[in-house]
């Protein structure tokens, strides 16, 4: 018998294999949010391509950037 609050091996396996939802990235981490969006839209892009897109993105006005990232968790 297990004590209250203790977990069995089955409980631990269930937790370890459960799907993990995406975490929300705060607005102060704009680069991380942008990279996550680009990874979702363009998974075939290289790091250099994403970095170039990031530089182009950063050259836009803030309001435009906020609109682009509005749906990114």
Tell me what the pLDDT averaged over the chain comes to.
83
pLDDT band, residue 12 (cuts 50/70/90): confident
User: What does the chain look like in DSSP terms, one character per residue?
Assistant: -PPTT---HHHHHHHHHSPPPPPPPPTT-HHHHHHHHHHHH-TT--HHHHHHHHHHHHTS-HHHHHHHHTT--
Tell me: pLDDT of 33 over 50: yes
The pTM of this model reads 0.58
Least confident range of 5-14, 16-25, 29-38: 16-25
Quick one: average pLDDT of 30-51? 91
Quick one: average pLDDT of 7-21? 80
């Amino acid at each position: 018998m297990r004590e209250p609050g203790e977990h069995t091996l089955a409980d631990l396996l269930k937790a370890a294999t459960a799907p993990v939802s995406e975490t929300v990235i705060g607005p102060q981490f704009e680069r991380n949010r942008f990279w996550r969006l680009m990874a979702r839209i363009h998974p075939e892009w290289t790091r250099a391509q994403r970095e170039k897109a990031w530089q182009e993105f950063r050259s836009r006005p803030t309001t435009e950037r906020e609109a682009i990232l509005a749906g990114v968790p």
